[in-house]
Structure formats: C-alpha cells, structure tokens
Chains A and B, each alone.
Chain A
Amino acid sequence: MRDFLSTARTRLRRAADGDADSDDVGAGSERDDDPVSTGDAAATEAGAVVTDGGTAAGGDGFRDRLNERFGEDFTESAPFWLPPFLLVGLFVYGAIAWNFVISLTDYKGFVGPDYSDLDFEMYVRAVNDSGVIDATVNTFLLVVGFTTVALAVGLVLAILIDRNIRFENTFRTIYLLPMSLSFVVTAQFWLWMYNFNNGVVNIALGTVGIGPVDWIGNSSLVLWAVVFALVWQFSGYTMVVYLAGLRAIPTEHYEAARVDGASTLKMYWRVIIPQLKGSTISAAIVLMVFALKAFDFLYSLVSGYRPPNGADILATKMVREAYSTNNWAYASAIAIILFLMALSIIGPYLYYEYNQGNL
C-alpha cells in the first residue's frame, strides 16, 4: 500500500511538475494563512499557475535542480527545518568555531580580541598549568564516578519497581522528583545535609560512631560528596530509562529463564541485564552530559566562581578564568579542551546510533 501510494504520488507530481512547484512561488502571498478548505485552495492554486506560470519559471528551474539533486521535498520542506538549523548552526557551531579562534589570540582584560596574531600559546600554557591538570582529573573522576554509580543505582531501582509492586507510580514519582529541581536548589539542600554540626549525614553517621566529617571543607572528600548528591538527583532518570528497557523485554525471556531453573539473581545477571545494552549506552551519554554541567551545582555550593578546594572541574575553571579574571583567550582554550572531552564521548555515540539506523 505504501509503495503504491509513494510511486503514485511521484508519478502524479512528475506529471504536474510545474504545477505543484510553481504554486509555491506564484501563490506565495496567500499560502500563509489560508482559511479555505483543501479543495478550494487547490482550485485557486491551479488558477494561480495559469496566471503566474511564466514569471515563476526562472525560480522553478532552480528549485527543480535543487529537488533533483537533494530529493523531491527538499525545497518544500526547507522552511521547516532550515530556520531552526541555521539558528543552531550559528549559536552552536558558529560559536564553537569562534571560540577556537579566540583561544588562539591573547585576548584578556577589557580590550577586544586581536585576531591578527594567532598561535597556540594558550594551549601550551594550559598543559603546563597544574590547575588545569587537576581540573581535568577531577572532571574525569566526576564523570566516571557519577555515571557508574548512577547507572547502578538506577538499575537497582528499575528492577525493584518492575517486581509487580503496589503503588508503583507513587514510588516512581518520588524517585524521579529530584530531577525536576534546579542544581541551585539541590545544592542548597545538600549544603544543609552535609552541614558539619547539624546536617542529616553527620547525625546519621554519628549514630554508628563515625564523624562528624567536614564533607565540603575536606578537599579529598568533597568531590565524592558532590558525586553522591548528583547520584541522588539523577538516578531517578536512569531508573526511567532502564524501566522502559525492562518493559521492552518479552515476557518469554523471563519464563525461559525460570524453566531453566535460574534463580532471580542469576536470571537478571545472565538474561536480562545483557539485553539492556542500548538503555545503558543512552543513559550513560546523558548522565555524562549532566556531569559536565555540574558547574551550576558547584557554583551554588559556594555562591561564587571558586568551588570548594578539591572540586574544581574544567567547567568551573573555564568560567572563572573568563568571568572572574577576564582571561578570555585562556578560558576559550580550556573550553576547547572540555569540548574535545565531550566530543570523544558523543562522537562514537552518534556513530553507533547511525549504524543502528536511529539517525
């Protein structure tokens, strides 16, 4: 049926070639908000062709050539995808290219960048800056630590929720609730949780004889305290992704494992979890992106550009260099390093999606 329609449509459009295309040019002024029904409009459009056929011919040739080359709906669909694409192209790719050029200048302070003298000096400086190296290591630890733990917690939550429990929706809503909150808000909550004298964390640990611990002030603990808080905020997201994955697995797979006499644990480990590869990959990618955005959280912890000692990541370092000390070119170089880190994650992912036919 579809094939038939498709070929019929193609043939129809070939036959009415000038027709269908020129009405876009000729009747352009009244296309926008046409209150008349389809049939009526077709009639007016046909009329417009008769009167405007000659004048629109030049444009038609160009459109035809474009459609010939790119596909038959190329020009007609362009008003839909082209403006958003141009906006994204300008703000994302144009900005990244511009950022790279700025990183090659010596731009700092309040006088605009000088584009005549370009070199890689800022990158040399970044490689030799122990602050950048620490921030890179911290970024890496944060991304890997947070992603791994959030995936594990989310998987456990999804399996718990999937075991035919009562009030499933209520529990799911509660687990996902922190994700609707801003980093600024959750940072306030966790600052209070980690409070040295009166925080919940220290009081809970106090009952088993540990602490009190200065979570935010201790430079070797603070990064993991942040990871813990982020896991709290985002493991609900992982749960939702895994839950969708679990529900997509046919019931027969569970039953087959049962018949083989596998225990529940073994069934999940051997049969179910291997089938969640797709969910794991897409959740991991999104979690890594969240981790790279942890800037908001770290900024809010201290209400300033300087995060607690031991929790400086590339994102905070870059913003501090730019907006606190006005080392614009240096900040741009750090931004490019961060971008390359992100690209090394996204690039293979997009390629994978492309091979899977999802792109």
Chain B
Amino acid sequence: MSDASHEDSDPTDPTDSTGVAARVRDDLAALDGYRVALYAAIIGMTVFFLTPIESGLVTAFKTNPGGISSTLPFAPPPPRFFTLEKWQTAIAALGRGMVNSALYAVPATIISALFGSFAAYGLTQADWRARYKAPVLAMLVAGIFIPYQAVLVPLSQFWGAVPLAELLTPLWVLGVPQSYVGLVELTITHVAYGIPICMVLFRSYYRNVSEEMIEAARLDGATFRRVYRRIVFPISTPMFAVVLIYQFTQIWNDLLFALILVSTESSPAAPVVLILAGLGESMEGQDFALRMAGAFVAALPTLIVYIMFGEEFAEGVAT
C-alpha cells in the first residue's frame, strides 16, 4: 500500500540529487515527518523490548556488590568491575539441570508431536460423521485451555499410586539414580498435556492438504495407515518443524509440573527452571549478577532455537 495521503511533504526534505545512489535518494525522499515519527515509534518499542534483556546481560558481567551498586543497570561494566565469575557459578549450579531438562523435554516434544499428528490426521482426513467427530475434536481443543491447577492434586495422587519406580527397576539396576523416576513422570505428563496444541497445529495444516492426492491413493487400495506413512507424514515435515520448536520451548520453560513432580531443586533430577527459581533464594542477599547469568544460561537452548528458527516459532504461536 502506498502512503499517498502524505502530500504535506516535509520542508526539510532533501532535494539534492547530485549522483547519490537511487535507493538512498528514495529513502531520503520518503523521510517526511510521518516516516520519521513511524521509525521513532518503532525504535522506541525496540528499546522497550530489549532493555530488560540488555540490562540483564550487562549485569551478569559485573562484580556483585561493587559493580552493581556503582554503575547504571544498563551500562556495560567498566574493566575494574568486569568478571566472568558469575557465569562460572551459574553454569556449575545449572549444568546438571540443563541435562535433566533435556532428558525429558526432548522425548516429550517428539512423542507429543507424533501423537498430535496422528490425532489430527485421524480427525481431518478420515471420513466419519461430523456429529460424532465434533465432540472428540471439541474435547481435544478444549484441552489446550485447561488451567493446570485443576488437575494438579489428582496428578500427584496418580503418580503416587502408579508403581512407576518398580516398573523401571532395570534402570536403577544400571545405576541411574532413583529420583529420575520424576523425569519419566514429567515426560508422560508433558506428552498428555501437549497433545491438544500439537493436534490443533497439525489439523490446520492437514485441512489444506490436497484431497485429490489422498483420494487417488485410497482408490488405488491404499489403507488409511499406508496413506499416512507414504503421503501425509512425508509432506508434514515443515509442520513438524513448527510443532517441535513450539513444543520444545513450552516444555523446557514450564515450571509448574517440574515443581510438583520433582519438587526440590536439590534433587539430582531437578530441571533447570526449578534450580533457577531457587537460585536467588540459596544465596545470601540478592546476588543479581548471578541471577542474570543463571537466567541466560537457562534460557540459552530456547534462545538458540528462537534465533535459528524464528519464522517457525512465529508460525507456531500464531496458529
């Protein structure tokens, strides 16, 4: 769309055209008052969104009482207050948590994405009566919006009653610490509560799949299962990228289930968010430099995923 409404061109508009590149000239010509205000607003919002992150990042490199109290929170540390010590402490404290988080976040992400894809396929391409399909769909979709508090007490009861520790005896024999049973519980829990959103993401994709291709395959005598394996699954690759990225971020970032199922940050199986939430508490006073370093260490995997796959992430959240 053009900005035709802005004939009231700015008097400061530069009109010299003495051999500058055409693009620069066009840019400057477009710089009337309106454009200036637009870019000022955009940059102002950028500052708003980046300040907490920038302030945290510079603070993580400062010495604790001295550097923090005698410099501005968003100013980079001067050499005499510069230290990497907080990062070392944070990595030492959060390292095992990173491993633990990965141990349940990765399998839970993959399984919930697969289940979501199965459910979406069975509920879009399958030909059965809408009267019966709608309630199944509605129950799955509503599952996205359930506040997890409404299932917490039964969840604790359920995992308390299931003899998971005994079922997994071979693991403990192999030398895995028994508290890791919490990670198995977390995996299954995250799969169950992740299926609805994965299903919805895949469903919006499968509804646009060319029906001719699938009909033709069915006419050739391919079973429902074969069509999934040969046609639908291979063409789902872009959507799998979106769902895996979105789900991984959600599961890695979730605190509530980790808190309820693993409960203490001193447990050997504690996920990284749980240790980070307690990081400030265990230190005397408020060591903000350490907290900021810890926050960045814990956020690192999701930040990397976001920077590499920003497009897929945006697509995941937008649906």
- Of A91, A176, A203, A295, which contacts B314 at CB under 8 A? A176
Q: How far is the CA of A299 from the CA of B132 in the complex (A)?
A: 42
Cβ-defined contact, A96 with B192, below 8 A: no
- Of A160, A174, A263, which contacts B5 at CB under 8 A? A263
CB neighbours (8 Å) of A306 from chain B are: none
Query: Chain A 337-356, CB within 8 Å of chain B: the 1/0 string?
Result: 01100100110011001100
Q: How far is the CA of A8 from the CA of B218 in the complex (A)?
A: 11
Tell yes or no: A58 within 8 A of B by CB. Answer: no
CB neighbours (8 Å) of B154 from chain A are: 94-96, 98-99, 102
Residues of B within 8 A of A (CB): 1, 3-5, 27, 38-39, 41-42, 45-46, 48-53, 55-56, 59, 68-69, 72-74, 115-116, 118-119, 121-123, 125-129, 132-134, 136-158, 189, 191-193, 195-196, 199, 211-212, 215-226, 228, 230, 249, 252-256, 259-260, 263, 273, 276-281, 288, 291-292, 294-296, 298-299, 302-303, 305-306, 310, 313-314, 317-318
Q: How far is the CA of A318 from the CA of B153 in the complex (A)?
A: 10
Residues of A within 8 A of B (CB): 1-2, 5-6, 8-9, 12, 20, 23-24, 31, 34, 38, 41-42, 45, 67, 70-74, 76-85, 87-96, 98-99, 102, 113, 157, 160-161, 163-166, 171-186, 188-193, 195, 197-200, 203, 232, 236-237, 240-241, 244, 251, 254-255, 258, 263-264, 285, 289, 292-293, 295-296, 299-300, 303-304, 314-315, 318-319, 322-323, 328, 331-332, 334-336, 338-339, 342, 345-346, 349-350, 353-354, 359
Q: How far is the CA of A279 from the CA of B136 in the complex (A)?
A: 25
CB neighbours (8 Å) of B56 from chain A are: 188-189, 192
CB neighbours (8 Å) of A293 from chain B are: 147-148, 256
- Of A83, A232, A237, which contacts B317 at CB under 8 A? A237
Q: Is the interface of A mostly helix, strand, loop or mixed?
A: helix
**What is the distance, in angstroms, from A63's C-beta to the closest C-beta of chain B?**
13
CB neighbours (8 Å) of B50 from chain A are: 174
- Of A188, A192, A296, which contacts B255 at CB under 8 A? A296
Cβ-defined contact, B281 with A304, below 8 A: yes
Q: Is the interface of B mostly helix, strand, loop or mixed?
A: helix
CB neighbours (8 Å) of B156 from chain A are: 322
Q: How far is the CA of A175 from the CA of B160 in the complex (A)?
A: 42
**8 nearest A-B residue pairs (beta carbon):** A71-B128, A81-B122, A80-B122, A77-B126, A182-B253, A91-B192, A95-B151, A303-B281
Sample of 30 A–B contacts (CB below 8 Å): A76-B224, A80-B224, A81-B122, A84-B115, A84-B118, A88-B140, A92-B146, A95-B155, A96-B154, A99-B154, A160-B42, A166-B27, A171-B42, A176-B314, A177-B53, A182-B253, A185-B298, A188-B294, A189-B55, A192-B291, A195-B73, A240-B314, A240-B317, A244-B318, A255-B1, A300-B255, A303-B281, A319-B259, A323-B263, A335-B153
CB neighbours (8 Å) of B222 from chain A are: 38
Beta-carbon nearest neighbor of A334 in chain B: B149
Cβ-defined contact, A299 with B277, below 8 A: yes
CB neighbours (8 Å) of B292 from chain A are: 188-189, 192
Q: How far is the CA of A83 from the CA of B112 in the complex (A)?
A: 12
Cβ-defined contact, B276 with A258, below 8 A: no
Q: How far is the CA of A166 from the CA of B26 in the complex (A)?
A: 13
Cβ-defined contact, B55 with A85, below 8 A: no
**What is the distance, in angstroms, from A297's C-beta to the closest C-beta of chain B?**
9
Cβ-defined contact, A191 with B291, below 8 A: yes
Q: How far is the CA of A99 from the CA of B158 in the complex (A)?
A: 11
**What is the distance, in angstroms, from B236's C-beta to the closest C-beta of chain A?**
13
Beta-carbon nearest neighbor of B74 in chain A: A200
Q: How far is the CA of A74 from the CA of B146 in the complex (A)?
A: 28
Beta-carbon nearest neighbor of A74 in chain B: B128
- Of A1, A78, A322, which contacts B212 at CB under 8 A? A1
**What is the distance, in angstroms, from A76's C-beta to the closest C-beta of chain B?**
4
Known: A92-B192, A160-B38, A179-B317. A193 touches B126 (CB 8 A): no
CB neighbours (8 Å) of B145 from chain A are: 285, 289, 342, 345-346, 349
Given A189-B56, A334-B149, output 18 extra A-B contacts at Cβ < 8 Å. A5-B215, A91-B155, A91-B192, A91-B193, A92-B139, A94-B154, A99-B150, A102-B153, A165-B38, A176-B313, A177-B306, A189-B52, A195-B73, A195-B288, A198-B288, A203-B73, A295-B149, A319-B256
Cβ-defined contact, B277 with A184, below 8 A: yes
Known: A84-B195, A171-B46, A175-B45. A96 touches B226 (CB 8 A): no
